[in-house]
Amino acid sequence: MSAQAEKPVALITGASAGIGEAIAHRLARGGFRILAVARRQVPLDALAEALQPGTEVATLALDVSATDAGDSAVDAAMERFGRLDALVNNAGSGKFAQLRRTDEDMLDELIDLTLKAPFRFTKAAARVMQSGSSITYIGSTFGMIGGLNGGMYTAVKSGLVGLTRSAAIELGPQGIRCNLVAPSVVRTAMIEEYWNSEVFGRVNQEFTPFDRMGVPEDIANAVHFLASSEGSFINGQTLAVDGGWSTTKYLSKEAVLAKRVDQP
């Protein structure tokens, strides 16, 4: 067996952009072979070109919300590489809306993409993974403490914390670890339309006790740590990667001293 064939294999959903793309690069640098999944083939091809030279990579264009997507992706990993060591359930959307502005279509889309898909991918991965493997879910600090206009997005990301725990209990005895990484705001296409709004900037920057906002590589480093042997006794956990946003009740000096303005 060649040295390349011994390398571990990671299946990453939503790998063609933003946080998933950074995860693909980090895991490739960490010695993983990569199966990159998203709906659009062109950005997947661009990722495959850009990965560290020498990385063995396959791509699969599919909608993770499809009922058979988990089985199809895991089968593709087994056919191409013969093993699966890390699953990263990252694909998601930024559909935040207040409760009163959430319709049935949005409810279904969020549940299908954020809960049912990771559930099905977990079930599919569990049938082939060996002891020492890991599953990482990308949740959100909104799913831990809530967030302005979080609506159903907060609810499904909270549900993902529950899925992480039930998977950890069920798969832990097989030596498969399941953990969740919860980013706060990270500048990607998902939140681009909100980025320059004053409220969004204040809620995120002025509540973060750190001198910068998160970048996709911060999340990718946490995922790599959990998927590597260095995380080998970490199971069922939620790891916030947020500069302290979710745990500190921090307010910048400017925010503390600002004059209160009543809401219209």
Ligand X SMILES: NC(=O)c1ccc[n+]([C@@H]2O[C@H](COP(=O)([O-])OP(=O)(O)OC[C@H]3O[C@@H](n4cnc5c(N)ncnc54)[C@H](OP(=O)(O)O)[C@@H]3O)[C@@H](O)[C@H]2O)c1
Q: Which amino acid is at 216?
A: P
Which of residues 47 and 129 has its CB atom nearest to ligand X in the complex? 47
Annotated catalytic sites, by residue? 153
Q: Is 191 in the site for ligand X (CB under 6 A)?
A: yes
Which of residues 7 and 50 has its CB atom nearest to ligand X in the complex? 50
Q: Report the SS3 class of residue 202.
A: helix
Kindly determine how many residues on this chain lie close enough to bind ligand X according to the rule CB under 6 A. Answer: 28
Q: Is 164 in the site for ligand X (CB under 6 A)?
A: no
Rounded to a whole number, what is the distance in angstroms from the first to the last CA of the chain?
A: 68
Q: Is 18 in the site for ligand X (CB under 6 A)?
A: yes
- The CA distance from 116 to 65, in Å, is 7
Among 9, 11, 16, 59, binds ligand X (CB under 6 A): 16
Which of residues 30 and 150 has its CB atom nearest to ligand X in the complex? 150
Strands 238-241 and 177-183: parallel
Among 1, 189, 257, 261, binds ligand X (CB under 6 A): 189
As measured in angstroms, the least distance from the Cβ of 7 to ligand X is 23
Q: Name which of residues 74 to 103 contact ligand X (CB under 6 A).
A: 90-93
Please report, for residues 16, 17, 39, 212, the alpha-carbon distance to residue 66 in angstroms, rounded to integers and kept in the order given: 18, 20, 11, 37
List, in order, residues 6 or more apart from 173 with CB less than 8 Å away. none
Which of residues 39 and 165 has its CB atom nearest to ligand X in the complex? 39
